[in-house]
Amino acid sequence: MSWKDHLIKIAPYVAGEQPDKKDFVKLNANENPYPPSPLVTKAIRDFDAEDLKRYPSADAVPLMKAIADDLGTDSSRIFTGNGSDDVLALCFRAFFNSDKPVIFPDITYSFYPVWCRMYGIPFKTVPVDEDFNINAADYARENGGVVIANPNAPTSIGRDLDFMRQILEENPDSVVISDEAYVDFGGHTALPLLGEYENLIVVRTFSKSRSMAGSRIGFAVGGDALISALRAAKDSYNSYPLDSVAIKAGCASLADKAYFEQTVEKVIATRTRLTQKLREMGFVLPDSSTNFVFAHHDKYRAEDIYKYLVSKDIYVRYFRSPERISDHLRITVGTDEQTDLLINTLESYIK
Amino acid sequence: MSWKDHLIKIAPYVAGEQPDKKDFVKLNANENPYPPSPLVTKAIRDFDAEDLKRYPSADAVPLMKAIADDLGTDSSRIFTGNGSDDVLALCFRAFFNSDKPVIFPDITYSFYPVWCRMYGIPFKTVPVDEDFNINAADYARENGGVVIANPNAPTSIGRDLDFMRQILEENPDSVVISDEAYVDFGGHTALPLLGEYENLIVVRTFSKSRSMAGSRIGFAVGGDALISALRAAKDSYNSYPLDSVAIKAGCASLADKAYFEQTVEKVIATRTRLTQKLREMGFVLPDSSTNFVFAHHDKYRAEDIYKYLVSKDIYVRYFRSPERISDHLRITVGTDEQTDLLINTLESYIK
């Protein structure tokens, strides 16, 4: 056998296109259209580069404390990582060591099956209903773990606290991950349930609502057993996942609550306007609890709209698969200006 | 079965102590005592924080290109990651999928067995000889992969190009990792062999010679088959391991060759002086090809020396295990001032 026979064989996650040109409207990666807080700018400008000669705090302690303060919890309940992808991957490795399949919706973040394959974790997808809703009752089945993105992507649909409580009630023997990447845009966090359910872990990111996708900061909130297992998995992979600049920048973002709230409100206001305009044009889309919308048009094929928008230098996300969503577009909520351009371009296509 | 039965059970890597006090001499993590290049300071100060709202380049393309230019190779041969720990872990996952054991020295970087356990990779350690040398002939045995730290840690011993060539000649059917974290301090890189051996991968870091442990930049250099497998493994774990500030800072470091060379020379000069002084005090230590020394004293126990140094606020690395090195100290080469203080303190203990 040659060494080539033992190389990994895996189909990786494919992210949205990053066109290699300057002037285009980028509404395909659910990035925040607004910059991070001015305090983040200041933290980076004031960063003493000499600090880089030292390893960062292995657990990003200052950031861990700042997140705990922000959430009104104890820092021992916080775990930080290199974006929520790193945190989620470590959750899969740390929590899902059963022979039973981990379950998650068929339409959800497409990295979940990739991590399962990466770690050899059996999994089974549970169909969302015809309106793309996740129904808690469908998760009352034998499993080795449950993963729920709430709000879900790419559907944009958020569920309430009772939904998550029902999932937890049905699954006392499994770890339940509440992936809340988009929760700040109007979703319902499972954080209030942490005190009642030791098997719940909540995962968050600075990439969306805090406009810091470039800093790669994710975190988890949970009880001792889960956080300890996460730390053991992390310290078996990479001791220092967060760099020193990101740790300082993350703390600075948390220090500016007013800016955070204003930014989120602006995105929500634009989303409301975008949703209404799209519906006026005949698009069908659920109410979004995220910073994107998930839209379908009965008369125009999503792929054709996508291609037309690309020809006008506007990039939205079009998914060729799975088939259930292959006639949908996922459109990030941009600035008002970007949104006007999008709406005008769509109107010129549809008219 | 409860969810608690399915949590990960693993003994993680334990890094050197990070005392929670301000004034101490830190010679226990092989950090560079000098700051990064002034160009790194400038790159961070000039960083436009608005860029953080966007995801970074998934493959850290600007940094990949800068590394390739620095090494005089093509950027398609470069893979970057979140410190060399991330890169090495992905190498283990991507290359070692055989049922045969991966082999590496018994005395080497202690993360290797941790990654094997993390991924369920069988492994076997090969004893270094009584002088802590790795002998290439010992690697002529059936295996599922070979990992050689060259220079090796914590022994500080570097081997030449013929050594690595012999390892490669003996192992045409295995991927061979040359872990060169310390190579810039006088080691012999395997890079010239890459053209001849498609199964060779070279792993490097910005943490030591470039004084950027806080930026978490590691990279690998290799041929198409290995780099493609690494990218597939990376894209199955975390698409964006390097943040936007680190990418710019890393490029800035590479742009300042003169500073890099001066810093390395200063460390080597101090190492020469430290080695001589330690030998005069009766320490036994091999010639180091790294930014640390690996010392033993026939009359004084390493643990006692370690504790005495701690009492004087000087931290070096003492390993309780494995037993073969439990009477040795690993001492990072600091500034001249730190080194003088270390030498004077040791002299006061030994006299």
pLDDT tens, A201-242?
Answer: 999 999 999 999 999 999 999 999 999 999 999 999 999 999
Asked if B6 lies within 8 A of A55 by C-beta distance, the reply is: no
Do A319 and A174 belong together in one domain? no
Q: What is the pLDDT of residue B211?
A: 98
Residues of chain A neighbouring B215 (CB-CB closer than 8 A): 52, 243-245
Q: What is the pLDDT of residue B75?
A: 97
pLDDT tens, A121-135?
Answer: 999 999 999 999 999
Exposed/middle/buried for residue B322 (C-beta within 10 Å: 0-12, 13-18, 19+): exposed
Residue pair A242/A56 in contact by the 8 Å Cβ criterion: yes
Final residue in a domain of this structure, among A194, A223, A256? A256
Asked if B31 lies within 8 A of A47 by C-beta distance, the reply is: no
> Where does the pLDDT of residue B12 fall: very low under 50, low under 70, confident under 90, or very high at 90 and above?
confident
Determine the Cα–Cα distance for residues B92 and B113; give it in Å rounded to an integer: 10
Residues of chain B neighbouring A240 (CB-CB closer than 8 A): 83, 85, 213, 216
Number of A to B CB contacts under 8 A, please give it: 274
* Neighbouring-strand partners of residue B332: B292
Q: From A175, A256, A220, select the one nearest A59 (Cα to Cα).
A: A220
Do B27 and B72 belong together in one domain? no
Degrees to nearest 5, angle at CA B254 with B248 and B255: 90
Do A214 and A324 belong together in one domain? no
Between B49, B117, B233, which is nearest A36 by CB?
Answer: B49
User: Rounded to two decimals, what is the model's pTM?
Assistant: 0.96
Determine the Cα–Cα distance for residues A187 and A207; give it in Å rounded to an integer: 16
Q: Give me the percent of chain B exceeding a pLDDT of 90.
A: 94
Do B23 and B92 belong together in one domain? no
As a whole number, mean pLDDT of residues A342-349 equals 97
Do A310 and A205 belong together in one domain? no
Residue pair B127/B103 in contact by the 8 Å Cβ criterion: no
Give the CATH number of the domain where residue A320 resides. 3.90.1150.10
Q: From A205, A219, A233, select the one nearest A96 (Cα to Cα).
A: A233
> Where does the pLDDT of residue A21 fall: very low under 50, low under 70, confident under 90, or very high at 90 and above?
confident
CB count within 10 Å of CB B199 equals 22
CA distance B40 to chain A (A): 7
Do B224 and B88 belong together in one domain? yes
pLDDT tens, B54-90?
Answer: 999 999 999 999 999 999 999 999 999 999 999 999 9
Determine the Cα–Cα distance for residues A79 and A64; give it in Å rounded to an integer: 7
Asked if A85 lies within 8 A of B245 by C-beta distance, the reply is: no
Question: Does the structure show a pLDDT above 80 at A14?
Answer: no
Final residue in a domain of this structure, among A256, A275, A292? A256
Q: Give me the percent of chain A exceeding a pLDDT of 70.
A: 99
Residues of chain B neighbouring A144 (CB-CB closer than 8 A): 6
> Where does the pLDDT of residue A246 fall: very low under 50, low under 70, confident under 90, or very high at 90 and above?
very high
pLDDT tens, A191-212?
Answer: 999 999 999 999 999 999 999 9
Residue pair B325/B319 in contact by the 8 Å Cβ criterion: yes
Asked if B249 lies within 8 A of A245 by C-beta distance, the reply is: yes
Determine the Cα–Cα distance for residues B219 and A339; give it in Å rounded to an integer: 39
Q: What is the pLDDT of residue B262?
A: 98
> Where does the pLDDT of residue A315 fall: very low under 50, low under 70, confident under 90, or very high at 90 and above?
very high
Tokens at residue B209, please? 């010679």
Do B214 and B271 belong together in one domain? no
Q: From B309, B294, B285, select the one nearest B17 (Cα to Cα).
A: B309
> Where does the pLDDT of residue B272 fall: very low under 50, low under 70, confident under 90, or very high at 90 and above?
very high
Question: In three state form, how does the secondary structure of B74-89 look?
Answer: CHHHEEEEEHHHHHHH
Query: Distances in Å between the alpha carbon of B32 and those of A23, B137, B180, B294?
Result: 42, 34, 16, 17
Which residue has 């054709």 as its token pair?
Answer: A304
User: What is the overall mean pLDDT for chain A?
Assistant: 96
Q: From A118, A107, A105, A93, select the one nearest A13 (Cα to Cα).
A: A118
> Where does the pLDDT of residue B13 fall: very low under 50, low under 70, confident under 90, or very high at 90 and above?
confident
Do A161 and A216 belong together in one domain? yes
Instruction: Name the domain count of chain A.
Output: 2
Asked if B55 lies within 8 A of A2 by C-beta distance, the reply is: no
CA distance A156 to chain B (A): 20
Q: Which domain holds residue A205?
A: 38-256
Q: What is the pLDDT of residue B14?
A: 73
Residues of chain B neighbouring A333 (CB-CB closer than 8 A): none
Do B59 and B192 belong together in one domain? yes
DSSP state of B46: T
Give the CATH number of the domain where residue B103 resides. 3.40.640.10
DSSP letters, A159-227, are: --HHHHHHHHHH-TTS-EEEE-TTGGGT---SGGGTTT-TTEEEEEESSSTTS-GGG-EEEEEE-HHHH
ipTM: 0.96
Residue pair A263/A282 in contact by the 8 Å Cβ criterion: no
Do B160 and B298 belong together in one domain? no
Asked if A52 lies within 8 A of B199 by C-beta distance, the reply is: no
Determine the Cα–Cα distance for residues B185 and B287; give it in Å rounded to an integer: 12
pLDDT tens, B144-160?
Answer: 999 999 999 999 999 99
